[in-house]
Amino acid sequence: MTSRKRVAITGLGLVTPVGNDVATTWDAVLHGRSGGAPISVFDASGFPVHIAAEVKNFDAAAALGDRRLLKLTNRSHRFALAAAEQALQDACIRPTDADATRWGLTVGAGMMGVDFADLAGTQVHSAADGELHSDLLLTDGPANDPVAFCRSNCAAGLSLLTRRFGIRGYTSAVHTACASGGQALGTALKLIRRGAADRVLAGGYDSMISPVGISGFCLLSALSPDNETPQRASRPFDVSRNGFLLGEGAGFLVLEEWQAARKRGAHIYAELAGDGNSLSSYRITDSPPDGDGPIQAMRQALWSAGAMPEDIDYLNAHGTSTGMNDRSESAAVKAVFAPNVHRLAVSSTKSTMGHLIAAAGAVEVAVCALAIRDGLMPINANLRDVDPDCDLNFVRDMPRRQRVRMAMSNSFGFGGSNSCIVLRHPDETDTALERGS
Amino acid sequence: MSTPRIVISATGAVCSGGKNPGDIFAAVRDGNSSIAPIQQWDTTGWPTTTAGEIAGFSAREMVEDRKLHKLIRRTDLLGLYAAGRAIDGAGLAAHRDTLAADAAALFSDRTGVYVGSGSGNFENQYDYFPLLAAAGGSLPAFGRELANTVNPMWLLRSLPNNVLGHIGIKYGLKGSNACITSHSCSGSLAVIEGMEALRNGEADRIVAVGHDAPIEPQMVLYYYRLGLIASDALRPFDVARDGSVFGEGAGALVMETEASAAARNAPVLGYVLGGGEVSEATGLLAIRDDGDGLARAILQALDNAGIGAADVGMIVAHGNGTRASDASEAAAIRTVFGGMAPPVTGFKWSFGHLIAAAGILEATLALEALVQGVVPGVAALNELDPECAGMPVSAQPQVPRSKVALILCRGFGGTDAALLVSAA
């Protein structure tokens, strides 16, 4: 462990349902101002669920600064490009010709999706009766438009980001559903530790607030049906919780080898200190009631960070607000942090932002970095009656002012992938380095 | 710095050329191509009509559990098949069955799964066509009729990480994992990330698998419109080459630390020595003429493995048959190896381009080549393109210079990956 390189978080960028930058998002999350509202990006009035946490007042042309990029990007790519730009500006560094090959990119990317207008266009032309007639595809508009293909390709986000910022090193996109963003950060941590990159732009982006995206979750009954009270719909760990609130957005972080960051005088939010990931191997959508799977991910992240459970002051829980996840996660937290679980402050900021799916993990790690910077823990909004199965030490009603030595962020995905990321206060890291460990 | 070797204890593969690495390799070695007219839809009137489809494809043959068929797609069936053969071949589950309960649980926690996935294709989106037709352009009607029309499991069928989740469930594996969706480099990246997880002590054993099934009408049409599809055959490095041909399938490796392999007396087929991957930062489709990215990926892999260019005994080129890729690949090989390149071959002419599965399936075949001591000739090569001059590629079989093979892979987004494996 002692010879391991350490990794500094030196830049943050956020585009979320509660703010199109870091400061606005952080203020809303701290105080639990919900981003939930009726869906506005399409007419969802006939859907079983017609609320979501949308990114609001996002001026894509201004955020991208390049109108030509609009047609090459879908909604989630625009969030990604904007959040990545913020993160690089915040870090006061970006790839140059001299060091571009030492910069990496890791992203948690949303599922490949065809723009709904393109899908509907192809249906009208090539599947008027509901069945695809492949001969008609030959004269179909969207199906012959390379630009539509580029937007839908799984490598689109990755290629837009590497080209835009001139990143020429290790590049990878991961998709493990709701664990994607956390796993992208874990991959980035490992790249710097093993010397495959000196700096990594890492994050996640997603937008499933579309007719097909909402449909997918509606069909699984995963979303809260509280259409009349969208701001209360996401209430992780509350006994009355009934599903998640679908969000969208992007979070990006600039990660650097610690000494290099110190040498250039960078502001360091926190050390990205540990990564753990495991498979639940239970069921594709269900979480094991005893927390098996998440337990191993959390323990591995502690091991990777060289930390003990009592070193962690704040846990940003996965806390989706579904019955099963929150119960399973609580069981896992109790197993890992026993017998001192009540010393650990816990909140799920999905209570405010909703569930950003492939972006969630990255956004929530950024939230942990801000908690460490400010010594402030954001609240678990909408928590009135704590589920007796989830009796953790929640940050409620008011943000909690307390120095955060280390923070932990959980992300668990459909398919059973569990990601856990651990962050350390920069002073703690410097102290450890002075001690020579 | 010493670079511990990672043992390959078993492989699995499926594509149009066969249902295991040995058969697929034999077809390549014997100069046979399984690229044929597309059967999955009527291609009458189509400008391109061939691909490496698995003939007589049977979901049941790929995955016995019929209940699972409704929850996953063709690409997932292929991935589960290849991974299953590798896991069985390595005797992972059989070994765990001999352990006491605690040791068995630890074995599961210390066995990870790394997947390179094609990340969703167009067909799953077509599941909404009947609903769109019924709704007649009205979104409220679409919303109201949703539950009556679309399979409730639609989202699960569409997940890019299905192979990861279902391998875990079927074999009870719970360790370190990832699902990589980086287009054609996905499978190679699964090997690289799995190898590094083993070196880093995150796991003792890793199942790495790459899978893809890109042969569907809208995908073929897009690639054709982009000028990437051959008029009839894939001819890597040939002066007359005019594009690529899709294949479908999956490749899988079981990788272990030397300690894990020794402890359970595992078969040792070979080793993963190292890997590298870079971006050219050129956008989704463009690639650099000078092969800069691929050359850097090769150098990174050599450095990662702690070996020199002269140690490489054979190269499995990406050789996708497009004008730009093959020419720049030849440039990259010249940059790294000068006039001293070992025998070069490519496999895609025989069974097509497997996109996310290409790199890892070709790694399983490279091992076969090293074991048999044969670098297969490229039967589709008639006349080497002067742009690719100096490449020791031939229609005739060659002999590897050592037990080490370099496997190259290139994907959209200007990504280039290089893997180094050796025979035992």
Name chain A contacts of B142, Cβ cutoff 8 Å: 46-47, 211
**pLDDT of the residue at A270:** 98
Residue of A nearest to B292 (CA): A168
Of B125, B156, B415, the CB nearest to A114: B125
Of A132, A170, A296, the CB nearest to B129: A132
Residue B231 bridge partners (DSSP): none
Query: Could you tell me where the beta strands, DSSP code E, fall in B94-165?
Result: 111-117
Summarised one tens digit per residue, pLDDT across range B10-39 is: 999 999 999 999 999 999 999 999 999 999
Residue from B3, B161, B416 to probe the interface with A (highest A Cβ count within 10 Å): B161
Q: How far away is chain B from the Cα of A111, in angstroms, using its nearest Cα?
A: 7
- What percent of chain A stands above pLDDT 90? 93
> Residue B285: is its pLDDT beyond 80?
yes
Per-residue CA distances from B278 to B8, B369, B411 (Å): 24, 26, 11
Q: Is B175 exposed, middle or buried (0-12, 13-18, 19+ CB in 10 A)?
A: buried
- Scanning B207-226 for CB atoms below 8 A from A yields 217-218, 221-222, 225-226
Of B112, B142, B164, the CB nearest to A415: B164
> Residue B330: is its pLDDT beyond 90?
yes
> Residue A1: is its pLDDT beyond 60?
no
A120–B137 CB contact, under 8 Å: yes
With DSSP H G I counted as helix, E B as strand and the rest as coil, what are the percentages for chain B, rounded to 5? Answer: 40, 20, 40
Summarised one tens digit per residue, pLDDT across range A238-280 is: 999 999 999 999 999 999 999 999 999 999 999 999 999 999 9
pLDDT band at B3 (very low <50, low <70, confident <90, very high): low
- Scanning B273-332 for CB atoms below 8 A from A yields 277-285, 293, 296, 300, 304
**pLDDT of the residue at A286:** 83
pLDDT band at A69 (very low <50, low <70, confident <90, very high): confident
- A10 Cβ under 8 Å from any chain B Cβ: no
Summarised one tens digit per residue, pLDDT across range B345-354 is: 999 999 999 9
- B72 Cβ under 8 Å from any chain A Cβ: no
Q: Is B66 exposed, middle or buried (0-12, 13-18, 19+ CB in 10 A)?
A: exposed
Residue of A nearest to B139 (CA): A43
Token duo for residue A204: 């996640």
DSSP state of A223: B
- B143 Cβ under 8 Å from any chain A Cβ: yes
B141–A46 CB contact, under 8 Å: yes
A135–B284 CB contact, under 8 Å: no
Whose structure tokens read 């969630």? A360
Q: How far away is chain B from the Cα of A143, in angstroms, using its nearest Cα?
A: 6
Of A124, A131, A220, the CB nearest to B152: A220
Q: How far apart are CA A96 and CA A169, in angstroms?
A: 12
Of B120, B150, B183, the CB nearest to A215: B150
Question: Is A355 a known active-site residue?
Answer: yes
Name chain B contacts of A45, Cβ cutoff 8 Å: 139-140, 143
How many angstroms separate the first and last alpha carbons of chain B? Answer: 22
Q: How far away is chain A from the Cα of B208, in angstroms, using its nearest Cα?
A: 14
pLDDT band at A3 (very low <50, low <70, confident <90, very high): low
Residue of B nearest to A72 (CA): B284
**pLDDT of the residue at A68:** 85
Selecting among A175, A178, A368, A425, the annotated active-site residue is A178
Helices assigned H by DSSP within B150-282: 154-158, 162-171, 186-199, 217-225, 258-263
> Residue B1: is its pLDDT beyond 80?
no
Token duo for residue B371: 């074991």
Residue from A132, A172, A295 to probe the interface with B (highest B Cβ count within 10 Å): A172
Q: How far away is chain B from the Cα of A355, in angstroms, using its nearest Cα?
A: 16
The conformational region for residue A385 under phi > 0 = left, psi -120 to 50 = alpha, else beta, is beta
Token duo for residue B391: 């490449």
pLDDT band at A2 (very low <50, low <70, confident <90, very high): very low
Residue of B nearest to A184 (CA): B178
A44–B176 CB contact, under 8 Å: no
Between A211-219 and B139-149, two packed helices, what is the crossing angle to 10 degrees? 30
CATH architecture of A7-112+153-434: 3-Layer(aba) Sandwich (3.40)
> What does chain A come to in residues?
437
Of A114, A156, A285, the CB nearest to B122: A114
Q: How far apart are CA A5 and CA B7, in angstroms?
A: 26
- A149 Cβ under 8 Å from any chain B Cβ: yes
Q: How far away is chain B from the Cα of A13, in angstroms, using its nearest Cα?
A: 21
**pLDDT of the residue at A111:** 83
A-B C-beta contacts closer than 8 Å: 290
Please tell me which residue, B251 or A112, carries the higher pLDDT value: B251
Mean pLDDT, chain B, integer: 96
Question: Is A178 a known active-site residue?
Answer: yes
* Structure ipTM: 0.97
**pLDDT of the residue at B2:** 52
B280–A168 CB contact, under 8 Å: yes
Q: How far apart are CA A403 and CA A322, in angstroms?
A: 30
- What percent of chain A stands above pLDDT 70? 99
Residue from A123, A145, A275 to probe the interface with B (highest B Cβ count within 10 Å): A123
Between A180-193 and A360-374, two packed helices, what is the crossing angle to 10 degrees? 70
Residue of A nearest to B118 (CA): A154
> What does chain B come to in residues?
424
B221–A143 CB contact, under 8 Å: yes
Residue A314 bridge partners (DSSP): A345, A407
Query: What pTM value is reported for the model?
Result: 0.98
Q: Which of A198-202, A306-310, B283-287 has the lowest mean pLDDT?
A: B283-287
Helices assigned H by DSSP within B239-388: 258-263, 292-305, 323-337, 348-351, 358-372
Q: How far apart are CA B242 and CA B236, in angstroms?
A: 9
Selecting among A318, A368, A420, A425, the annotated active-site residue is A318
- Scanning B160-189 for CB atoms below 8 A from A yields 160-162, 164-166, 168-169, 172-183, 185, 189
The DSSP element (H or E) to which A351 belongs, if any, is: helix A350-353
Summarised one tens digit per residue, pLDDT across range A209-224 is: 999 999 999 999 999 9
Name chain B contacts of A101, Cβ cutoff 8 Å: 278, 296
Summarised one tens digit per residue, pLDDT across range B200-209 is: 999 999 999 9
What average pLDDT does this structure show over B353-371? 98
**pLDDT of the residue at A437:** 66
The DSSP element (H or E) to which A85 belongs, if any, is: helix A75-91
Summarised one tens digit per residue, pLDDT across range A405-419 is: 999 999 999 999 999
- A433 Cβ under 8 Å from any chain B Cβ: no
Domains annotated on chain B, with CATH: 6-120+160-423 (3.40.47.10)
- Scanning B389-408 for CB atoms below 8 A from A yields none
Name chain B contacts of A159, Cβ cutoff 8 Å: 283-284, 412-414
**pLDDT of the residue at A153:** 87
Residue of A nearest to B183 (CA): A155
